[in-house]
Amino acid sequence: MPDHPTVEPEAGAPPLAPTLDERGLARALSGRHFIGGAFVPASSGTTFAVANPATGEAIARAAEGDAADVDAAVREAARAQKAWARLPARKRGALVAQCGAVLRAHSEELARLITLETGKALRTESRIEAQNVADILEFFGGLGGELKGESVPFAPDVLSVTVREPLGVVGAIIPWNVPMLLMALKIAPALVAGNTVVVKSAEEAPLAVLRVCELINRVLPPGCFNILSGFGPECGGPLVAHPLVRKVTFTGSVEVGKIVATAAAQKLIPVTLELGGKSPMLVFADCDFDRTVTGAVTSMRFTRQGQSCTAASRIYVERPIFDRFVAALAARVDAMVMGDPLDEKTDIGTIISDGQFAKVRAFIAEGQATPGATARVCSKLPEDARLAGGKFIQPVIFTGLPDSSRLVQEEIFGPVTVVFPFDDTEAVLAAANDSEYGLAASVWTNNLRRGLDLAHRLEAGLVQINQNLVVQANLSYGGVKSSGLGKEASLESMLEHFTHKKTIMVNYA
């Protein structure tokens, strides 16, 4: 790997207008949190390196947040919350929708910046994320008027009503795979409901979300939305534990989700957890073959290197079409182009970090060493010398693995899927449900009676028939079993997870 100079934080503020100079923007965002409406350095003065995973080069430094920074941000959020909650709900919504419009104007800039720091391909992934972020803010922005309560029959001369009140300061901890979108799913409903927010970004991807925070702060009053960069235990831990944080929403690993939920329980505050999955895809012989092969490529999120909680990482194919399906899927993935994530020709970029790179490669090596298993290694590593230090992994399609294999049971979070033949509907349903996870599932068949029957019996928060879309505004999203607690993306998610119901009774007898 080439020896890269470290990047010194730049003194100047990031440009106001949208910029397509992602490297300049990364440097300009260096070394700062965003608290109380302004960029501020870490109170300790400490920073850590942010790298471009496609080359290994250092692109920025991020402020290393600790408990003192958390305290400053939470106090600002608590101060801002009182006035924010007193704005009419539809006014808050209108402001959040306006933030969506600002982000839309910056979407190409944000897409380029997120590509630089995560290694996701610009054309197939980052542009879509940037558009979806704006869409989520605009969707929730329209829901201010839906923060309704009820009138409750109690007694003839007692008026009894419920009102929806905000919870206070929300702490949000986000991961690196789709950081802007996963953050938007948390901040938009939280803000519209009258809460204020402190986000702890993922250490691997702190830049695009920091720019999003700055852009949103051009519209919202200072302190409503604050963001800290830093590491999990040192910065995320104090955020969950802070006495003024009244709700925590987390997306990431099961392991950390349990730590967060345990800490929240000590304060008796609610948590929402989105923790990943091992989502099955059930393919019947009567499916539309080509559409289903395309569906498998998109379902597995090969364009995101499989770094998706909803990735169809277990594919079950009815035996009469099994061989043909595996061959067609492998051919399709083989034709995908790996390369510089910023290049328009690139379909597949890189894995996010050294840690994930090592973890995914260990899974692949274990699969390849399993007796009876076949690994179809697809696509080609880029030849460009500039990318020699990049964390590229060729997609692998495994067949012949035993059910007990770690590759079948555990979330790999890489471009690796396992495919099995099946003969019997009940047996494949049992196999699909035999998982610790329950985030998503899909069924591909032209027999809608069978598809609907399976949709009801699959243990998952989201089941799709003949499609496998990513999170969509307006549709509740969230898993069962170890995949998490609570829902995101819908009106119900805003009402249930970012408000509490107060009862007010008026005795006018």
- Closest to ligand NAI by CB, 115 or 499: 115
Type and span of the H or E element at 85: helix 67-86
Nearest residue (CB) to ligand NAI, 224 versus 352: 352
Per-residue CA distances from 460 to 208, 394, 478, 481, 496 (Å): 31, 29, 9, 8, 20
* Closer residue to ligand NAI (CB): 166 or 237: 237
Hey, which residues are catalytic here?
186, 274, 309, 488
Identified binder of ligand NAI from the candidate list 119, 252, 395, 486, rule CB under 6 A: 252
C-beta closer to ligand NAI: residue 274 or 459: 274
**DSSP reduced 3-state for 150:** coil
Residue whose C-alpha is closest to residue 185's, from 212, 217, 214? 212
Calpha distance 343→428 (Å, rounded): 40
Please tell me whether residue 229 binds ligand NAI under the rule CB under 6 A: no
Give min distance, CB of 441 to ligand NAI, in A: 16
Q: Restricting to residues 354-373, which ones interact with ligand NAI according to CB under 6 A?
A: 356
Least separation in angstroms between residue 463's CB and ligand NAI is 18
Minimum distance, C-beta of residue 428 to ligand NAI, in the bound complex (Å): 24
The DSSP-derived string for 195-260 is: -EEEEE--TT--HHHHHHHHHHTTTSPTTSEEEE---IIIIIHHHHH-TTEEEEEEES-HHHHHHH
Of the candidate residues 194, 237, 280, 451, the single one contacting ligand NAI (CB under 6 A) = 237
77 or 174, CB closer to ligand NAI? 174
Q: Mark the segment that binds ligand NAI (CB under 6 A) among 40-48, 126-134, 236-244, 498-506.
A: 236-244
Query: Three-state SS across 99-144?
Result: HHHHHHHCHHHHHHHHHHHHCCCHHHHHHHHHHHHHHHHHHHHCCH
Residue (137 or 471) nearer to ligand NAI, CB? 471
Name all contacts of 490-493 with Cβ < 8 Å and 24+ positions apart: 491/143, 491/146, 493/189, 493/272
Instruction: Give the list of residues 6+ apart from residue 14 with CB closer than 8 angstroms, or none.
Output: 25, 28, 29, 211, 214
- The Cα–Cα gap between 35 and 198 comes to 9
Q: Are 338 and 346 in contact (CB under 8 A)?
A: yes
Q: How far is CA 55 from CA 51, 102, 205, 349, in A?
A: 8, 31, 15, 11
Q: Count Cβ atoms within 10 A of the Cβ of residue 259 and give its class: 0-12 exposed, 13-18 middle, 19 or more buried.
A: middle
Helix then strand then coil, in percent of the chain rounded to 5, is 40, 20, 40
Choose among 305, 50, 356: nearest CA to 203.
50
- CB atoms near residue 195 (< 10 Å): 25
> Measured from the CB atom, is 398 or 444 closer to ligand NAI?
398
Q: Decide: is 260 part of the binding site for ligand NAI (CB under 6 A).
A: yes
Please compute Rg for the chain using Cα positions.
23
Is the Cβ–Cβ distance between 172 and 182 less than 8 Å? no
At 465, give phi and psi (nearest 5°). -110, 125
Looking at residues 430 to 469 of the shown chain, list those that interact with ligand NAI (rule: CB under 6 A).
none
Asked whether position 258 contacts ligand NAI by CB under 6 A, the answer is no
Which residue of 125, 138, 411, 459 would you call a contact of ligand NAI, by CB under 6 A?
411
330 binds ligand NAI (CB under 6 A): no
Q: How far is the CB of 505 from ligand NAI (least distance, A)?
A: 40
The single residue among 81, 196, 251, 493 that binds ligand NAI, judged by CB under 6 A, is: 251
Q: Is 361 left (phi over 0), alpha (psi -120 to 50) or beta?
A: alpha
Rounded to a whole number of angstroms, the minimum distance from the CB of residue 418 to ligand NAI is 15
Q: How far is the CB of 442 from ligand NAI (least distance, A)?
A: 18
Q: Name the segment binding ligand NAI (CB under 6 A); options: 30-38, 114-122, 200-208, 319-327.
A: 200-208
173 touching ligand NAI, by CB under 6 A: yes
Nearer to ligand NAI, 107 or 310 (CB): 310
Amino acid at residue number 470: V
Among 259, 337, 377, 388, binds ligand NAI (CB under 6 A): 259
203 binds ligand NAI (CB under 6 A): yes
Q: In whole angstroms, what is the distance from residue 206 CA to residue 229 CA?
A: 6
Which of 250-258, 383-391, 401-409, 469-477 is the region at the interface with ligand NAI (rule: CB under 6 A)?
250-258
By beta carbon distance, the residue nearest ligand NAI is: 232
Residue 37 CB, shortest distance to ligand NAI, in Å, is: 23
- Looking at the Cβ atoms of 30 and 201, the one nearer to ligand NAI is 201
Q: Which stretch binds ligand NAI (CB under 6 A): 11-19, 146-154, 185-193, 271-279?
A: 271-279
Kindly tell me which residue out of 59, 133, 190, 256 binds ligand NAI, with binding defined by CB under 6 A: 256
Query: Closer CB to ligand NAI, residue 173 or residue 315?
Result: 173
Taking CB under 6 A as the binding criterion, the range among 14-22, 161-169, 199-207, 334-342 that sits at the site for ligand NAI is 199-207
Residues 273-312, mask of contacts with ligand NAI (x by CB under 6 A): -xxx--------------------------------x---
**Residue with the two structure tokens 């690796």:** 416
Place of tokens 């630089």: 116
* Total residues in contact with ligand NAI, by rule CB under 6 A: 26
If we measure between CA atoms, which residue out of 380, 357, 343, 383 comes closest to residue 124?
Answer: 343
Binding site for ligand NAI (CB under 6 A): 173-175, 177, 200, 202-203, 231-233, 236-237, 240, 251-253, 256, 259-260, 274-276, 309, 356, 411, 413
